[in-house]
Each structure stands twice: as structure tokens, then as C-alpha cells.
Structure 1
């Protein structure tokens, strides 16, 4: 059975491109463009990994990660951000929830992303 990755990013080009990268590397992937749409899909898609942007209009990626973690405790979490200033927020969130979240910075090379995902899924 293929690993399932849900990508949530308000930048449609980023989300769709990442979804394609995952499909080309043997994953089943879906892209959504808001936390609300991501959570709705997660309930039926049951992702192995949630890859979400930190900063989005409306609910943030951290809000989405909380919701997914509550409903799908086995789902691994990975954040993607273009802003280094988001690092302390993610670190505080991780310390508070005691749930590990891997973080990558945009732009990320596809081979680096896939390597990080494989490491996270095997952990």
C-alpha cells in the first residue's frame, strides 16, 4: 500500500507541484489550499503524512496539525515555511504538544524533500 501525503498550502502552485513530486516518487498525494479543506479531505484520505505551510489565511498550518493529530494520531507532521521567523512558533508548539514536527524551508529541492519524508516515515 502506498504512503499517502496530504499537502496543504495556500499557494496553489506550491501545493500542486509538491503533490506531483510525491506522485512521481511513488506516493499517493492530494493537495488542498486551506486548513479547512485540508482537514475535510484528511478525514476521508487518511494521510500517512501531513505536509502543510505554517502561514496561511484563516487557520494556520499549526492549527491544522493540531486537528489532524487529534483525529489521526498516527499521521506524521511536517511543516513548510518561507519565513525563518516561524521557527520559534513551531518549536513552541512542538514543546507544548510533545508531538514531533519536522520543518523545512521554502524553496526545498525535491530530492531533499523526499529524503526528509522517508526519514520521518521510518522514524
Structure 2
């Protein structure tokens, strides 16, 4: 939870499953974040340029450009944005770890489904290292 006297940290949640994105957005919103949601990587990039999130929470497997492509764009355009990626496919984990290790700074990796408390803990840890 964030102190109400602080400016709320901005989080952008990206998932092509609208229910997942909206639920995660609500979880962050109820925990004191300024949360926005996007349902595709293209929509997320447009939103990120306007919203300038402190944290990107992004699904990996999506139609069109996948989450790793978005992560590369965000690390280039918004270098101070922290990133957590989510995947529901355990078969993707090795590739996700490999790709994220090549990025200029650490990326959090979580598997779905993920408990809200665990997700919020990871988010707080990523943001505290900002």
C-alpha cells in the first residue's frame, strides 16, 4: 500500500485478456496506484507515451507483437520504467528469462495465475529499486 500523501505511482497493465487486465488494474488501483490498462502492445505503447508509467506489467503471449517486443520498446523509450512480465505458459519461461537477461536492467518475471499479494510485493520491490 502506498502512503496517501505521496504521489501515486503509475502502473500500466497490458494483457489481451480484458478480464485479466481489468482485474489487475483494479488490484493496483485499490492498492493506491494510478493504474491504466491496455489490451494490445500497440495500444500499450501509445498509452505509455502519454501516461509515462513507473511500472509496466505485461503479458508475454499476445496477438501481433508479443510482450517481449513491447518490453524492448519501453526500455528504449522510457528507460526509467520498471517492468514485470507475466506468462501463463511455463514453456515460455526459459525463452523469457533468456530474452530479459539481455535487457539493460532487470525485469521481473511472474507466472499466471499469480496471487495479488505476491504481485504487489514484486511491484513494490521493483519500484523501490528505481
Whichever structure has more helix as a proportion of its residues is 1
Aligned residue runs from structure 1 range 88-99, under 5 A: 88-99=94-105
User: What is aligned with 1:75?
Assistant: 81
User: What is aligned with 1:29?
Assistant: 35
User: What is aligned with 2:24?
Assistant: 18
2-side partners of 1:92 and 1:112: how far apart?
Answer: 23
Q: 1:96 Cα deviation (Å)?
A: 2.1
Q: 1:100 Cα deviation (Å)?
A: 1.1
Gaps of 5+ in 2: 1-6
Q: Of residues 97, 100, 103 in structure 1, which corresponds to 2:106?
A: 100
Q: TM-score, normalised by structure 1?
A: 0.96
1-side partners of 2:28 and 2:101: how far apart?
Answer: 29
User: What is aligned with 1:7?
Assistant: 13
Q: 1:98 Cα deviation (Å)?
A: 3.4
Q: 1:25 Cα deviation (Å)?
A: 0.1
Aligned pair 1:114/2:130, yes or no?
A: no
Q: How many residues align structurally?
A: 123
Aligned residue runs from structure 1 range 24-63, under 5 A: 24-63=30-69
> What secondary structure is seen at the aligned counterpart in 2 of 1:7?
strand
